[in-house]
Amino acid sequence: AKTPNFVANPIDSDYPEIIHLSVPVPNFVSNKNNMQKAKIILLDRIKLLEASGSTINCIACNTAHLLLPELQANTKVPFLSIPLIVASIISLNKFKRVGLLATPSTLASNLYDNAIEKNVALVKPDIKLEDKLEQLILKQLRGKISELDRNNFKDIVQNFSKSNKLDAVILGCTELPVIYGPNNDSRIIDSLALLSDALLEEYFKQS
């Protein structure tokens, strides 16, 4: 997919300072009952980001964007939104029929429905495929993904796209691009790569 253009100056001192918080939270990928506990933890951690002098924040997890409105309300530092970034790329590429592969929580939400323009058809997997995706995501989180799993996932993406006559497929869980591997297909929308590009673009705007 087309991504925003930016020019990086290769001088060492011009690279952005990055504060990375790896926050262990209860599993709410498949169990929404853990979301309240996760929210309390994340609300505490955004105070650390603010104290560090952060000027732009992001969450490298699509499902955690369910908590983004409350997190944003508790800090003056703006958060980037993965669904909004993805929506801008869909608009830029003029895709009209797009599939979404993600966690059960993300699929059950309106995160992407609300972000994407109303003239774009958003296609979600059936329950059988949703279960397969959840198992793959959990295997990736546990570091148990095999080469066979990777190949099977690529087949899933291609079959999902073909059977639903899609212009593009959103890998709407940040574990899915990792499972998929290197990708040069403009019809495979890598939410993780787009977030990285958007962060850099925002950094260069502020520089």
Residuewise pLDDT in 10s, the chain (207 residues) = 334 444 555 556 667 788 888 888 887 766 778 888 999 999 999 999 999 889 999 999 998 999 999 999 999 999 999 999 999 999 999 999 999 999 998 999 999 999 999 999 999 999 999 999 999 999 999 999 999 999 999 999 999 999 999 999 999 999 999 999 998 898 999 999 999 999 988 888 877
Contact by Cβ (8 Å): 126, 101: no
**Distance (Å) of CA 8 to CA 82, 124, 167, 179, 182:** 22, 36, 31, 28, 22
The span from the first CA to the last CA of the chain, in angstroms, equals 26
Contact by Cβ (8 Å): 102, 63: yes
pLDDT at 12: 60
Q: Would you call 123 helix, strand, or coil by DSSP?
A: strand
Residues 6+ positions from 155 with CB-CB distance below 8 Å: none
